[in-house]
Amino acid sequence: MNSIIEWSSTEKNPVLGTSEIHVWRAFLSLDHASLRHLESTLAEDEKTRAARFIFERDRDHFVAARGILRDLLATYISRAPGAIKFVYGPHGKPAVADADANLAIRFNLSHSHGIAVIAIGFERELGVDVEMLRPDFAGEDIAKRYFSEKEIGELGALPKELRTEGFFRCWTRKEAYIKARGDGLHVPLDSFSVSLSADRFPALSSADQSRWRIESFVPSREPKPGYAAAVVAQGNDWATRHFEWKPTKTETTEEE
């Protein structure tokens, strides 16, 4: 899982095949002009949510993540970023509001400590999660609250120096699965299990395990992972392609 992924930044409008999941990463510390451009594309409810953040950095990262999501979706559905409208499921999962052609698109966004990961697919539910590795959070007490007995046992069997990575591999896999299902916290976290190994394709043990596949990856630039991430999508007939979002010169120039 810790092998370096080649994140392509050469394709602005990659073609999404029906058997593909496109995984995008983006770094959220942007220059002022790029951030203001992205903010101008947000809906009023997104701007209201952004204004609730106490710290400017958190606000800016939220604005960047939502603006980048809009920028990417616009290239897939041929809409202006600001014209995209979202609807939300019973437990908060977003979808594009319109029901006409080209909108069988599915997507999910996660961001953590300055990095965002966005998964985009076609006519299949999916979820994604990214977390920064935090040894102070990856403790036994947290594991007992959120992990299944099988996962707790597997975590405890890891050498101490590997437990933080194991913890967040578990966390991101579970979170991505829950987000793919769209059921939020209505899914008991101990009602299913994921494997904690460093395998790219980890195991899922759940009542609907045949419906989903998990893929883990490291989104950071360095060989040593500072983050863990996972994507979960319906079916077994898909493969991932990885891309890196970057602000365009046009976006920056428009704000100067």
Bridge-based pairing state of the strands 204-205 and 193-194: antiparallel
Residues paired with residue 194 on neighbouring β-strands, in sequence order: 204
Bridge-based pairing state of the strands 20-27 and 239-244: parallel
Tell me if 119 is assigned to some domain: yes
What is the number of residues in the chain?
Answer: 256
Residue for token pair 């979960």: 232
Tell me if 8 is assigned to some domain: no
Give tens-digit pLDDT for 41-85: 999 999 999 999 999 999 999 999 999 999 999 999 989 999 999
Tell me if 225 is assigned to some domain: yes
Task: Write down the pTM of the prediction.
Answer: 0.92
Give tens-digit pLDDT for 125-177: 999 999 999 999 998 999 999 999 999 999 999 999 999 999 999 999 999 99
What range defines the domain where residue 221 resides? 25-255
Tell me if 29 is assigned to some domain: yes
CATH number, domain at 227?
Answer: 3.90.470.20
- Cα–Cα distance, 3 to 181 (Å, whole number): 28
If one counts the domains in the chain, the total is 1
